[in-house]
Amino acid sequence: MNIFRLLGDLSHLLAVIILLLKIWKTRSCAGISGRSQILFAAVYTARYLDLVTSYISAYNTVMKIVFLVASYGTLYLMFLKFKATYDHNHDTFRIEFLVLPCVILALLINHDFSALEILWTFSIYLESVAILPQLFMVSKTGEAESITSHYLFALGTYRGLYLFNWIYRYYAEDHYDLIAIIAGIVQTVLYCDFFYLYITKVLKGKKLQLPA
Amino acid sequence: SESERDKDEL
């Protein structure tokens, strides 16, 4: 565990907490893509199945459980408890166009052709693009609430910090995993446009609004 | 070493 990895995990944790608190406090999930949240639940489920097969550390186990619970908790709030506030008219990204290529790619490019490895690889590929329905929703409505912007910033920063972790590990431990690295680069690049708007607008106290 | 996944990463 190095500092980039730890900060990455904390940023990820912060993101899911911001999202849950936003929905809970405002009693509304307006502006949040339920489709992205479904994809994230699929990502954590596919990746953390190894909870039942291998024990790594207390930290590892606790974080996995937190991400799973937070993810399904978010789905519960969006699709059951605060269902009436879900903005489904603007949440129209076709997720099968993301899921199917990820399934095919995971079957073709993986470390080992076994069920758990393919599911792990699928989760890595799917995570890299899971935010697209959310970014599509923001572009469709042309704006995002500040709290939604903070959520997106923390979530985007998390994988960016993992990239620094992998650079560090390449030099310090001679370790690298191309599947995770390439997917992590794709994932971080997808946020670049948003990062630019966040830094130039939201941090200056303005609402995130896209140019017309 | 090359391309082995680390089961500790989240």
* Sequence ranges of the domains in chain A: 3-206
Encode pLDDT of A36-73 as tens digits.
Answer: 999 999 999 999 999 999 999 999 999 999 999 999 99
A94 Cβ under 8 Å from any chain B Cβ? no
Helix axes A178-190, A192-200, angle to 10 degrees: 40
Of A12, A67, A177, the CB nearest to B4: A177
Of B4, B5, B8, the CB nearest to A60: B8
Q: Which own/partner pairs from A201-205 qualify as long-range (CB within 8 Å, at least 24 positions apart)?
A: A202/A146, A202/A149, A202/A150, A202/A153
Interface predicted TM-score (ipTM): 0.84
Encode pLDDT of A131-158 as tens digits.
Answer: 999 999 999 999 999 999 999 999 999 9
Note whether A174 contacts B1, CB cutoff 8 Å.
yes
Q: What angle do CA A32, A102, A74 make, to 5 degrees?
A: 25
Which of A2, A4, A5 would you mutate first to test chain B, the one with the most B CBs within 10 A?
Answer: A5
Q: Using CA atoms in the order A142, A145, A148, A154, what is the torsion angle rounded to 10 degrees? A: 90
Q: How confident is the model at residue A210 (pLDDT cuts 50, 70, 90)?
A: confident
Encode pLDDT of A176-193 as tens digits.
Answer: 999 999 999 999 999 999
**Which pLDDT does position B1 carry in this prediction?**
44
Note whether A5 contacts B9, CB cutoff 8 Å.
yes
A57: helix, coil or strand? coil
